[in-house]
């Protein structure tokens, strides 16, 4: 007969505390997202306040760039980390000096807002040698072009829109339309998909193999082209399979919505999390002070906290957790950034071709953290260097075996491929096999298929197409 009994067992298990959950969440946030989280916390928690006069000091990319050119030391003379070549350049905080003086004349690197398709076309219209009436017709035509690049109104309607100010004929509108159809992007101003593709095909050299068949197929049998009915197309066009294949390849290379290649982009602002600069022979890694505003607990409200003030005590605890979580985030960012800089010094000195192979596991082992933590740290975090702004992940690349048994970064291989192609003879472009041979001479033994894969990833055409493009 079973009897109830009590047993005591000892064991260990991992528990995700609220503090740890908050630290992980903050670690995943970008600088902009962190600033928003801080603002939300300041609005909700009376115990929190900003250290710097209650103002949210944000360091812009422009002022952060000024840090790259500063030569005055910011490390205290008695700081025992002054000889550490990868140390942050501050005694204790690891942050750059703030606030910055108004004399810092650094350029503003905020992203430009892209133009709309209509603005792009109007700029080209202004450069044409058309009369005043033709310019007015051109503006009316551009107004009738949608974001895909197609004229959506009949020419008769466009002519009517111009009345009574201008008495123009449909033929006049049609004549100006031909001018608009010569604008960039190629294929814009068409009234149908077939016409747009035909306009794009017309830009090719007359002797391009398969061109005449492609134009006839688009003009007369576009539904069959869309249906990929090759047997019927071969019969109606009276061509063999090879000729049809060449024609269809030309058609597939055309853009069905040419206007979509020109679009307005919302500005994307990036705030660097760390700033890297060189002083003498050392590379200095600093936290961007404006990326994470410094918080403190409000001393006046803290003095009011008693056992009876349960709500205030809870907010005080939350405030301390947040401050500690941000400090942990900053410390982790610095550790990872300093490890990356130590590994990629050659890149900072010489550029992409000197990039060292690096994977998340290597950084995780160096800083003694889990690989998933490094993945969170390197996503959406940016480093401002003398070579530009880079996401942390830019410095990671796979290992490619070199001829001498060492390993080369795939990023360096891509840079070398791009450099070789940029310096090739246009009349005799380098094949993938030849590029592989040249890389091997330089010490990087890479297979031809690997060269082809990297070339395609960089959207560089094969040698045959580069030769044909030069011939045109």
Distance from chain centroid for Cα 63: 22
Identify whether residues 66 and 126 lie together within a single domain: no
CB 107 within 8 A of CB 61: no
CB 93 within 8 A of CB 47: no
Determine the Cα–Cα distance for residues 57 and 50; give it in Å rounded to an integer. 9
- Where is 176: in which H helix or E strand? helix 170-180
Determine the Cα–Cα distance for residues 290 and 99; give it in Å rounded to an integer. 9
Domain count, the chain: 3
In a domain, 314, yes or no: yes
Expressed as residue numbers, the domain containing 441 is 397-471
Backbone dihedral angles phi then psi of residue 269, each to the nearest 5 degrees: -95, 130
Distance from chain centroid for Cα 90: 31
Determine the Cα–Cα distance for residues 263 and 386; give it in Å rounded to an integer. 31
Neighbours of 75 (CB within 10 A): 18
Each residue of 181-225: pLDDT tens digit?
Answer: 988 888 999 999 999 999 999 888 888 899 999 999 999 998 888
pLDDT value for 102: 31
Identify whether residues 123 and 257 lie together within a single domain: yes
Structure tokens at 270: 């990036």
Determine the Cα–Cα distance for residues 28 and 289; give it in Å rounded to an integer. 18
As to burial, measured by CB atoms within 10 angstroms (0-12 exposed, 13-18 middle, 19+ buried), residue 177 is buried
pLDDT in tens, the chain (472 residues): 556 666 666 655 555 566 677 778 888 888 888 888 888 988 888 888 888 643 444 444 454 545 555 543 333 333 333 334 444 443 333 444 333 333 333 333 333 345 688 888 888 888 777 888 888 899 889 988 998 899 988 898 888 878 777 888 889 999 999 999 988 888 999 999 999 999 999 888 888 899 999 999 999 998 888 888 888 999 999 999 889 989 998 998 888 888 887 765 555 578 899 999 998 889 999 998 878 778 888 888 888 777 667 788 888 889 899 999 999 999 999 999 999 999 999 889 888 888 888 888 899 999 998 888 888 888 889 999 998 889 898 888 776 665 555 667 778 888 888 888 888 888 888 888 888 888 888 777 777 888 888 888 888 888 888 887 767 6
Determine the Cα–Cα distance for residues 48 and 423; give it in Å rounded to an integer. 58
In a domain, 2, yes or no: no
Angle at 425 between CA 424 and CA 429, to 5 degrees: 70
Neighbours of 6 (CB within 10 A): 4
Q: Where does a domain end: 209, 236, 261? A: 261
CA of 180: how far to CAs of 112, 165, 172, 203, 426, in Å? 26, 21, 13, 15, 31
Structure tokens at 197: 């593709």
Q: What is the pTM of this model?
A: 0.52
Identify whether residues 349 and 460 lie together within a single domain: no
Determine the Cα–Cα distance for residues 83 and 85; give it in Å rounded to an integer. 6
Q: Where does a domain end: 325, 360, 385? A: 385
Backbone dihedral angles phi then psi of residue 384, each to the nearest 5 degrees: -95, 120
Identify whether residues 213 and 285 lie together within a single domain: no
Identify whether residues 364 and 229 lie together within a single domain: no
Determine the Cα–Cα distance for residues 467 and 400; give it in Å rounded to an integer. 29
Q: At what angle do helices 310-343 and 31-44 cross, to 10 degrees?
A: 170
């Amino acid at each position: 007969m079973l009897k109830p009994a009590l047993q005591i067992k000892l064991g260990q298990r991992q528990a995700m505390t609220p503090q740890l959950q908050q630290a992980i969440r903050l670690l995943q946030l970008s600088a902009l997202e962190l600033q928003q989280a801080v603002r939300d916390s300041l609005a909700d928690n009376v115990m929190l306040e900003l250290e710097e006069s209650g103002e949210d000091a944000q360091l812009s990319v422009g002022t952060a760039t000024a840090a790259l050119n500063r030569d005055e030391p910011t490390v205290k003379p008695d700081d025992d980390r002054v000889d550490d070549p990868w140390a942050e350049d501050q005694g204790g905080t690891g942050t750059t000096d703030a606030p910055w003086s108004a004399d810092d004349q650094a350029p503003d690197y905020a992203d430009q807002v892209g133009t709309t398709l209509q603005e792009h076309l109007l700029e080209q219209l202004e450069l044409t040698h058309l009369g005043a009436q033709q310019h007015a017709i051109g503006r009316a035509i551009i107004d009738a072009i949608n974001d895909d690049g197609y004229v959506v109104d009949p020419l008769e309607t466009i002519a009517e829109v111009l009345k009574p100010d201008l008495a123009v004929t449909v033929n006049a509108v049609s004549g100006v339309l031909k001018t608009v159809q010569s604008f960039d992007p190629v294929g814009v101003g068409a009234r149908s998909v077939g016409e747009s593709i035909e306009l794009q095909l017309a830009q090719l050299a007359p002797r391009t193999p398969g061109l005449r068949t492609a134009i006839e197929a688009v003009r007369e049998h576009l539904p069959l082209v869309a249906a990929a009915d090759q047997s019927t197309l071969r019969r109606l066009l009276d061509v063999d399979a090879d000729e049809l294949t060449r024609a269809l390849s030309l058609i597939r290379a055309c853009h069905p919505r040419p206007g979509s290649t020109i679009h307005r982009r919302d500005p994307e602002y990036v705030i660097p999390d760390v700033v890297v600069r060189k002083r003498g022979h050392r590379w200095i890694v600093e936290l961007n002070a404006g990326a994470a505003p410094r918080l403190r607990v409000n001393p006046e409200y803290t003095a009011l906290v008693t056992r009876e003030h349960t709500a205030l005590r809870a907010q005080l605890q939350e405030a301390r957790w947040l401050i500690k979580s941000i400090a942990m985030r900053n410390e982790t960012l610095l550790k990872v950034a300093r490890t990356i800089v130590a590994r990629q010094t050659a890149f900072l000195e010489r550029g992409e071709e000197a990039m060292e192979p690096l994977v998340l596991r290597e950084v995780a082992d160096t800083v003694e953290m889990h690989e998933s933590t490094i993945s969170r740290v390197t996503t959406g975090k940016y480093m401002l260097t003398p070579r530009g702004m880079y996401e942390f992940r830019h410095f990671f690349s796979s290992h490619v075996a070199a001829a001498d048994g060492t390993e080369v970064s795939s990023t360096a291989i891509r840079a070398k491929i791009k450099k070789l192609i940029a310096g090739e003879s246009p009349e005799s472009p380098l094949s993938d096999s030849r590029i592989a041979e040249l890389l091997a001479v330089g010490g990087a033994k890479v297979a031809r298929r690997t060269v082809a894969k990297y070339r395609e990833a960089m959207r560089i055409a094969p040698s045959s197409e580069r030769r044909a493009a030069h011939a045109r």
